[in-house]
Amino acid sequence: MLTIHDIAVWDTGERIDLVIPESDAQRLLTEAGAVVSGDIDGSSLIVAPGLADPHVHFRDPGQTTKETMVSGCEAAAAGGYTRVLIMPNTLPAADGRDINVQDAVDGGEELKEVGVVNTLDYLQRYEQLHDVQLPVRYDLSVCASLGRTGKLPTRPDDYIRFMDTAGQSTNHDNGIHDNGISDTSQSPDNAVLQHPLRAITDDGSAITDEILDSVLADAKATGLPVLEHCEHHDTGAINEGTVSRKLGIAGIPAQTELTIVNRDIEAARRTGAHIHFQHVSTAGAFDAVRKAKAEGLPITCETAPHYLALCDEDILKYGTMAKMNPPLRSEADRRATVAAIADGTVDMIATDHAPHTAEEKAAGLVDAPNGIIGLECAYGVCRKVLVGSGAISDERLIELMALAPERLMGHKPTDVAMLLNTSAKCATKRILDLSKVEHPENVDLTLIDTHHQWTVDSARFHSKGRNTPFDGWKLTGRPMATIIGSKLVFSRLTVGTKG
């Protein structure tokens, strides 16, 4: 068995010994290729609920030269994530329609060959179809519009079969509270729906005015939150400002984000539907969200590590590796993003993990695709910017990267103190043996060394993507092991040394 001694519980500070079942520990190889078993000094580690990311693009099916479910899930596990939410901008788009009733759908023939009816079915059955066991839990999202064209709304009759209706909350509230959230991991349908549908989104594009009310009505009826790409522009490649003018490149005004945010806040007020704003990046949008929350509207939001760590001036250094949508904004907006984290306006942090090939990113700022990868260095980048600056505590960072995203997706994060049967410290050191806890299959944990100093090396990433501006950054703090269902699925730990 693997025993990690003297590890600290993330929120109480209690020092415990953590025991991971032998059968799982012996099968796991570390990055160095050594079998993990025996005893490890965990005095430099904390044990926390598994990180969760409600916003990833794994490009499978349709663009597997960029990423696959296998490489994406391996990247997630290496970053300390135990659950991710897959965005629906696949080929074919994950809109719930069966491919045999559509005309000339991109990627449709590939799905027919493996015997699935559509992309949601393919992703639901991925492990069975490919005879693999993926090292991370994942949920699915459905397009807001058919084919992600913005013209017609998707139909609940097409996608409700992929919802975990037995365990899924029909009253999502605002997605960040325990009230009304079911523990779907114990749903009687769990054996069938390992990867249930959890959200509606046209991520990559804002939901169009023409279908917004229909989408929100369907969201209310199904209990699914709407994840909104809160930004729209028809021209421009980078933020409108001194950098765009210096480079002679058409800019994207900050107003393009605020316009969608204001429109959707009014829609939430009108309909009562839960709208979650993705990758918010501007001071004006944060002000609007802050006021909407004060009013009690069902609004939540996320931001991403790159909007906390970078601004449009960094494009001069990193080029297309710093091109994304929405674009990196001004330094004032970056500071406003950190402030919105500090005052609680931002509910969670998501990576918007978006892999592209080196050839695509070499096309120049105007023509290169938007997006960067983020799963494998997100924790370290966020800790550097937020905890290192004193903006928030280590405990708050776990809330932003683990607790709140899990709840948005309708799950209860693992409560370490509850596993120990108390939230109070004990006079003697206790042992948390994962083979002896109730429902070990539901225990998802991340072991983090908050003091570990390391340098980002994208060449060693598990993701197929290398498109990151953080390559070469020196960071302090890194997830060192990932545990899913009480099983060790990834580790950087070495026997006989501190974590």
SS (H, E, C) the chain: CEEEEEEEECCCCCEEEEEECHHHHCCCECCCCCECCEEEECCCCEEEECEEEEEECCCCCCCCCCCCHHHHHHHHHHCCEEEEEECCCCCCCCCCCCHHHCCCCCCHHHHHHHCCCCHHHHHHCHHHHHCCCCCCEEEEEECCEHHHCCCCECCHHHHHHHCCCCCCCCCCCCCCCCCCCCCHHHCCCCCCCCCCEEEECCCCCCCCCCCHHHHHHHHHHHCCCEEECCCCCCCCCEECCHHHHHHCCCEECCHHHHHHHHHHHHHHHHHCCCEEECCCCCHHHHHHHHHHHHCCCCEEEEECHHHHHCCHHHHHHHHHHHCCCCCCCCHHHHHHHHHHHHCCCCCEECCCECCCCHHHHCCCCCCCCCCCCCCCCHHHHHHHHHHCCCCCCHHHHHHHHHHHHHHHCCCCCCCHHHHCCCCCCCCCCEEEECCCCCCHHHCCEEEEEEEEEEECCHHHCCCCCCCCCCCCCEEEEEEEEEEECCEEEEECCCCCCEC
Is the pLDDT higher at 26 or at 312? Answer: 312
Does 41 fall in a domain? no
Whole-number percent of the chain with pLDDT over 70: 88
Catalytic residue, chosen from 352, 394, 457, 471, is 352
Does 27 fall in a domain? no
Does 431 fall in a domain? no
Distances (CA, A) of 15 to 7, 51, 195, 433: 5, 21, 35, 14
Check which CATH number belongs to the domain holding 467 and give it. Answer: 3.20.20.140
Does 343 fall in a domain? yes
Strand partners, 36: none
Give per-residue pLDDT as tens, 247-304: 999 999 999 999 999 999 999 999 999 999 999 999 999 999 999 999 999 999 999 9
In the structure, what pLDDT confidence band is assigned to residue 25 with cuts at 50, 70 and 90?
very low
Is the pLDDT higher at 221 or at 1? Answer: 221
In this prediction, residue 29 carries a pLDDT of 44
Does 84 fall in a domain? yes
Does 23 fall in a domain? no
Cβ atoms 95, 146 nearer than 8 A: yes
Q: Scan for tokens 């109070």, then name that residue.
A: 424
Does 381 fall in a domain? yes
Phi/psi at 74 (5° precision)? -65, -40
In this prediction, residue 494 carries a pLDDT of 79
Q: Is the pLDDT of residue 314 over 70?
A: yes
For the residues 301-314, what does the mean pLDDT come to? 98
Judged by average pLDDT, the poorest of 104-108, 217-221, 238-242 is 104-108
Q: Is the pLDDT of residue 183 over 70?
A: no
Q: What is the mean pLDDT of the chain?
A: 90
Q: How many domains does the chain have?
A: 1
Paired tokens of 372: 């960067």
In this prediction, residue 173 carries a pLDDT of 46
Cβ atoms 86, 138 nearer than 8 A: yes
Paired tokens of 297: 């509207």
Residue 418 belongs to domain spanning: 50-423+450-483
In the structure, what pLDDT confidence band is assigned to residue 158 with cuts at 50, 70 and 90?
very high
Does 34 fall in a domain? no
For the residues 410-417, what does the mean pLDDT come to? 96
Give 282's Cβ-side CA count (13 Å radius). 22
In this prediction, residue 193 carries a pLDDT of 77
In this prediction, residue 232 carries a pLDDT of 95
- Relative to beta strand 474-484, strand 445-455 is antiparallel
- Relative to beta strand 474-484, strand 487-491 is antiparallel
Q: Is the pLDDT of residue 400 over 50?
A: yes
Active site residue 121: no
In this prediction, residue 167 carries a pLDDT of 46
Q: Is the pLDDT of residue 174 over 90?
A: no
Q: How many residues does the chain have?
A: 499
Distance, in Å, from the CA atom of 352 to the CA atom of 89, rounded to the nearest integer, reads 12
Cβ atoms 111, 119 nearer than 8 A: yes
In this prediction, residue 1 carries a pLDDT of 82
Judged by average pLDDT, the poorest of 78-82, 189-193, 306-310, 339-343 is 189-193
> Which amino acid is residue 480, in one-letter code?
M
Distance, in Å, from the CA atom of 130 to the CA atom of 134, rounded to the nearest integer, reads 10
In the structure, what pLDDT confidence band is assigned to residue 421 with cuts at 50, 70 and 90?
confident
Asked whether the whole model's pTM tops 0.85, one would answer yes
